[in-house]
Structure 1
Amino acid sequence: MSGTSLAGTIGKLKRPAQKSPVSFFEFWPDWLFYAPVVAFWTYNAIRYRSITLPSLANPRINAGGICGESKNAILGLAGPAARAWVADYIGLSVSGHVDGDDLGRALAAMQRAGLNFPVVAKPDMSCNGVGVRVVRDEAQLAAYLSGFPRGAELQLQALISYEGEAGIFYIRHPGEKTGRITSVTLKYPPVVVGDGRWNVKELIAADDRLNAISHLLLPKLGPKAAKIPSLGERVELVFVGNHCRGSTFKDGLSVVTPALSARIDEIMQAMPGVYFSRIDLRYRDLDALREGRDFKIIEFNGSGSEATHIWDPEMTLSRAYKDQFFHYGESFRIGAAFRKTGLKPIGPLKLLALWQHQKRLMRAYPTND
């Protein structure tokens, strides 16, 4: 790639300028920030006479995707028009005993699916990037499998080289011919660029945003923090584009065009029983994304999805809650429409058991990148 084209690509992906490195509520404790959301959910539960009604917003997903859903099962719903946009993957389970040939079975499955290293290894049931790791060879895959909970399901997915990462929220009501994009989050994982003199820790301190979230970054870096990158060398501080791991999230609704809307609707029409979902994807550049091309979907999330643009450092608290209430309100409205057809939401005790099962698994997964 020529210097000119490389500069153009980076220019299209670079993080937009921002007024403040963090919003004043961005790292509030969960119990504090989500208290109004819980109150809103409770209000709707009383209004619609069901606390688990959003489990019907995606009738083909276990519990609607509130929690405990299978990533492999959701991707397995994709018809041809959707599958063409999904990153290649395989699902498999770890044997119930330590001496099982997990590596051999995984390599054979990769060969059948045409997957080559590097791949992204991730739990089939998880959230917030827990347990996600880039696996670059057989030795790393063997180590990942050996540290995985016995009998649990996982996914191996092609590592997509596109630098851009986004979450696109899509909503369609039963009976509607087309759906709509209601939120776009552009994700920028933390990166430092070397100058040949400062180490990674010093480069973090010199960046307003990275310095403000250094408490999230430094504990995971270990010896890497003392490394002095060469001039122009880009050092990715985390792999998972997750807000709680330090990625910057920007409100990207302005990138939505008729072409992108049509493409996402085409994909979601080929996801039977999925009406309320945040689509996580990687894209080549913003121009391509606007034109609805050159991207790969990593996963579809369900009724527990959050419109993550609310974590834009320039977001106001009132707008964040307004957008949260809109999206969760939509999940209740869609669920109510499906209930009228005779479907029944998951029972509260069953949902609680799913959530507890997922939490137990998440505590046992290997550490993530």
Structure 2
Amino acid sequence: MTTPFGGVSEAAALFALTFLSEDAAVLSAAVMVASGMLPLGLGFASCFLGIWLGDLWLYGMARAFGAPFVARFSVAPGVQRSRAWFEERGSLVLIVSRFVPGLRLPSYLAAGAMRFPLRTFIFVTGVVAAVWVAVIFAGSHFLGVARVPFIREHAMWLAVGAVAVTGTSIVVKPWLRKLAADRESLITRRWKARLARWTRWEFWPAWLFYAPVAVFYLWLAIRHRGFTLPTAANPGIPMGGLVGESKFATLDPLQNACPGAVAQTWLIAPGSPGDRFDELHIIVESHAVTLPFILKPDIGQRGVGVKLIRSLPAAREYLAAVDVPVLLQRYAPGPREAGIFYYRLPGEAAGRIFAITEKLFPVVMGDGGRSLEELILADPRAAIVAETYLRRFSAQRSRVLARGEILKLVEAGNHAQGCIFRDGMHLATPPLLAAIDRVSQSLPGFFIGRYDLRYAADDELRGGRGFSLVELNGASAEATSIYDARNSLCAAYRTLYRQWALVFKIGALNRTRGAQPASLRSIWREWRRTNAAIRTYPPAD
């Protein structure tokens, strides 16, 4: 008799066995379950997870190492035909290969090398693996333990059935899709969007995505003998810009040294809402600041609390809701925005551009019939971050947009706020580098970080002119071009590893020049203070 907690060691062994022989693992598990030696749920889970993770591992290895090789010959007619064939019939191939011995390995490797869509691969292999294990287990239950090998030997008939089912689904697929679209509720769409977040790594939660980066950070800390060494990367910025740095402390010296290149910014200190509004009104009047303008917390991250203020009553409301130091910034209309990650090694005369991110601001267009919420949930990408958008437009979610009416979903150029990021290194030119280098060296003690800037046209930015800096982030800034959906997860990690290696290298060089890294206790204290403040900020625009 098994217990709810019995069979854990056997299940673990079966899980490991799937990576050596899937058939042996499933057959063994079926026998053990049918004989009462292993709980059904535990046996099924161990085999299913082992098989599914093994499939994903094969796909990932082929995509990481095989896809670049295939890409070299992408112009060859044979490769183009093979890719087109696999894109059209890949799902059917994956289904059949599960039931036909000898086809799984080449099929899954081909899927990765041909860059078959990851979401489809995850779904198809997961469903087929579950069906395969269930069939073997069901056979052992209804036919008896002795008949289990018979099921495996006649798997071809299962493949024929799978082909028939798949063919039928292809015929009726358009009709089913229309029926689903007509009947699909908003609740269903919300759940589909939440599930879609797990199939696109750019939307993974921070604790999952940054786990490998944290391991690499620890290795760099051991190598350079300094866990807090990044705080010495920028001696001219408190904590090196790792956490809790004041935006005004970096923007103020920059706008004094390079007034034409920085959006004018003023600091409004804490105080009563009335006094702060009076101070804002004085700044607006004395410096001829026109509406709209930007209000944002002096200390923040990921675009939290950034508001585009379109009226003075809205400014009064913001100051009443936010009791921390606030920046009033002249609005830079753009309409384009970019993030430029820059670094300069201590002792070198000039710096380099490490990465450039183009920022695209998503919109929805009204059709005169659907509400804003329905329009957002109908967009494949917008639906994934629908919670952020709908929180931002909570008062308008039921509003029906007129036909042709366009609504901009995000104002802050931040991925966490719903902005779309693209690799923008095609904008990098010697004139742009010279302009960014000139601004950077006007801030003593700054060596690595990311500028967020707005500009009117690509040609002007390439010429190193016509841009307005709105923010500078220090050691903890990211080369945000990694979030380009066209990037692979491996490419994103390679970029982050190179970036953090530079941060530690610059910190180590500055340490030899006398810079002192901050203590771990002070970083922890600043991190807690910053996060406590962020939780009180209003939703960003």
Deviation of the 1:196 alpha carbon:
3.8
Deviation of the 1:176 alpha carbon:
0.9
Q: For residues 487 and 513 of structure 2, what CA distance do their matches in structure 1 show?
A: 39
Residue 164 (structure 1) aligned to one of 326, 336, 358:
336
Letter in 1 for 2:228: T
Match in the other structure for 2:283: 109
> Quick check: 2:268–2:276 contact (8 Å CA) kept in 1?
no
Q: Secondary structure at the match of 1:226?
A: coil
Match in the other structure for 2:230: 54
> Quick check: 1:189–1:242 contact (8 Å CA) kept in 2?
no
Residue 191 (structure 1) aligned to one of 351, 357, 363:
363
**2:270 matches 1:94:** yes
Deviation of the 1:277 alpha carbon:
1.2
Match in the other structure for 1:37: 213
Deviation of the 1:197 alpha carbon:
4.1
Residue 178 (structure 1) aligned to one of 345, 350, 363:
350
Q: For residues 365 and 209 of structure 1, what CA distance do their matches in structure 2 show?
A: 26
- Judged with a 3 Å threshold, the aligned counterparts in structure 2 of structure 1 residues 351 and 318 are, in CA distance, closer, same or farther, namely same
Deviation of the 1:42 alpha carbon:
0.8
Q: For residues 359 and 272 of structure 1, what CA distance do their matches in structure 2 show?
A: 28
Match in the other structure for 1:274: 446
Q: For residues 261 and 162 of structure 1, what CA distance do their matches in structure 2 show?
A: 20
Which structure would you say has the larger Rg? Answer: 2
- Judged with a 3 Å threshold, the aligned counterparts in structure 2 of structure 1 residues 94 and 30 are, in CA distance, closer, same or farther, namely same
Q: For residues 358 and 366 of structure 2, what CA distance do their matches in structure 1 show?
A: 24
Deviation of the 1:205 alpha carbon:
3.7
Match in the other structure for 1:4: none
Deviation of the 1:226 alpha carbon:
2.7
Deviation of the 1:79 alpha carbon:
6.3
> Quick check: 2:362–2:408 contact (8 Å CA) kept in 1?
yes
Once the two structures are superposed, residues 123-171 of structure 1 have per-residue CA deviations (whole angstroms, 9 ceiling, x without a partner) of 001111111111222211111111112xx21100011111111110000
Match in the other structure for 1:299: 471
Letter in 1 for 2:308: V
Match in the other structure for 1:236: 408
Once the two structures are superposed, residues 204-235 of structure 1 have per-residue CA deviations (whole angstroms, 9 ceiling, x without a partner) of 24433223433432343224233333343320
Q: For residues 279 and 273 of structure 2, what CA distance do their matches in structure 1 show?
A: 13
> Quick check: 2:363–2:407 contact (8 Å CA) kept in 1?
yes
Once the two structures are superposed, residues 283-302 of structure 1 have per-residue CA deviations (whole angstroms, 9 ceiling, x without a partner) of 11222222222211101100
Q: For residues 220 and 262 of structure 1, what CA distance do their matches in structure 2 show?
A: 38
Q: For residues 331 and 54 of structure 1, what CA distance do their matches in structure 2 show?
A: 6
Structure 1 stretch 315-324 or stretch 357-366: which is displaced more? 357-366
Letter in 1 for 2:327: Q
Match in the other structure for 2:310: 136
**2:540 matches 1:368:** yes
Q: For residues 291 and 231 of structure 1, what CA distance do their matches in structure 2 show?
A: 39
Q: For residues 289 and 60 of structure 1, what CA distance do their matches in structure 2 show?
A: 27
Match in the other structure for 1:16: none
- Judged with a 3 Å threshold, the aligned counterparts in structure 2 of structure 1 residues 198 and 367 are, in CA distance, closer, same or farther, namely closer
Q: For residues 447 and 527 of structure 2, what CA distance do their matches in structure 1 show?
A: 22
Match in the other structure for 1:71: 247
- Judged with a 3 Å threshold, the aligned counterparts in structure 2 of structure 1 residues 301 and 198 are, in CA distance, closer, same or farther, namely same
Alignment of 1:185-334 (within 5 A): 185-334=357-506
Q: For residues 290 and 193 of structure 1, what CA distance do their matches in structure 2 show?
A: 31
Letter in 2 for 1:267: V
Q: For residues 198 and 357 of structure 1, what CA distance do their matches in structure 2 show?
A: 43
Match in the other structure for 1:82: 258
Q: For residues 99 and 281 of structure 1, what CA distance do their matches in structure 2 show?
A: 30
Letter in 2 for 1:155: L
- Judged with a 3 Å threshold, the aligned counterparts in structure 2 of structure 1 residues 29 and 367 are, in CA distance, closer, same or farther, namely closer
Q: Secondary structure at the match of 1:328?
A: helix
Q: Secondary structure at the match of 2:261?
A: coil
- Judged with a 3 Å threshold, the aligned counterparts in structure 2 of structure 1 residues 99 and 73 are, in CA distance, closer, same or farther, namely closer
Q: For residues 80 and 147 of structure 1, what CA distance do their matches in structure 2 show?
A: 30
RMSD: 2.0
> Quick check: 2:255–2:262 contact (8 Å CA) kept in 1?
no
Letter in 1 for 2:313: A
Letter in 2 for 1:246: G
Structure 1 stretch 317-326 or stretch 246-255: which is displaced more? 246-255
Structure 1 stretch 156-165 or stretch 238-247: which is displaced more? 238-247
Structure 1 stretch 233-242 or stretch 330-339: which is displaced more? 233-242
Question: Of the two structures, which has the highest relative contact order with CA contacts closer than 8 Å and spacing of 6 or more?
Answer: 1
Match in the other structure for 1:146: 320
**2:300 matches 1:126:** yes
Letter in 1 for 2:311: D
Structure 1 stretch 314-323 or stretch 114-123: which is displaced more? 114-123
Once the two structures are superposed, residues 13-57 of structure 1 have per-residue CA deviations (whole angstroms, 9 ceiling, x without a partner) of xxxxxx999872111121111011111111111111111111111
Q: For residues 115 and 351 of structure 1, what CA distance do their matches in structure 2 show?
A: 36
Q: For residues 521 and 482 of structure 2, what CA distance do their matches in structure 1 show?
A: 30
> Quick check: 2:417–2:540 contact (8 Å CA) kept in 1?
no
Deviation of the 1:367 alpha carbon:
3.1
Deviation of the 1:247 alpha carbon:
1.4
Q: Secondary structure at the match of 2:203?
A: coil
Deviation of the 1:121 alpha carbon:
0.4
Structure 1 stretch 300-309 or stretch 136-145: which is displaced more? 136-145
> Quick check: 1:67–1:304 contact (8 Å CA) kept in 2?
yes
More helix by share: 2
> Quick check: 1:89–1:157 contact (8 Å CA) kept in 2?
yes
Structure 1 stretch 238-247 or stretch 352-361: which is displaced more? 238-247
